[in-house]
């Protein structure tokens, strides 16, 4: 069970691992921890969207998962062959969210704030 998020500590949802808030990366038992799959533009989200820019090395199939602050999965989207992806955040309440990207055997999670 996930503990509440407090202070500068981020609990990577579903993985039971804890990392420094500065990078917010996570991985699975079978996946390689990565912090170079994507960069997040528009954080905090004030205009209703965030943009994920993917590295050239991660031009494979990807699964993008939106996770709420308590670790619950909100949406999951499969994409392929794109260098960026715009995620709509209009429907989200103000708060802390996480975007997790899985590509091949790599996983990266980044925190973003919806204002």
Residue 109's alpha-carbon distances to 63, 80, in angstroms, are: 12, 18
- In the predicted model, residues of the chain with pLDDT beneath 50 are 1-30
* Of 106, 109, 110, 103, nearest in space to 30 by CA: 106
pTM exceeding 0.75: no
Going from N- to C-terminal start, the domains of the chain cover: 9-114
| Class of domain 9-114 as given by CATH | mainly beta
Residue 30 burial by CB count (10 A; 0-12/13-18/19+): exposed, middle or buried? exposed
Cis peptide before 75 (omega within 30 of 0): no
Provide the pLDDT for residue 59.
65
Q: Who contacts 81 (Cβ-Cβ below 8 Å, separation ≥6)? A: 59
Provide the pLDDT for residue 16.
40
What is the rounded CA–CA span in Å between residue 17 and residue 43? 23
Provide the pLDDT for residue 47.
83
Provide the pLDDT for residue 84.
93
């Amino acid at each position: 069970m996930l503990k509440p998020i407090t202070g500068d500590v981020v609990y990577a949802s579903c993985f039971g691992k804890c990392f420094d808030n500065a990078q917010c990366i996570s991985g699975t038992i079978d996946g390689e921890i990565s912090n170079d799959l994507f960069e997040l533009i528009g954080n905090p989200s004030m205009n209703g969207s965030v943009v994920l820019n993917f590295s050239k090395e991660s031009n494979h199939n990807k699964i993008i998962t939106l996770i709420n602050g308590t670790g619950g999965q909100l949406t999951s989207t499969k994409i392929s062959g794109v260098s960026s992806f715009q995620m709509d955040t209009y429907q989200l309440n103000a708060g802390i969210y996480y975007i997790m990207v899985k590509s091949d055997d790599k996983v990266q999670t980044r925190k973003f704030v919806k204002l």
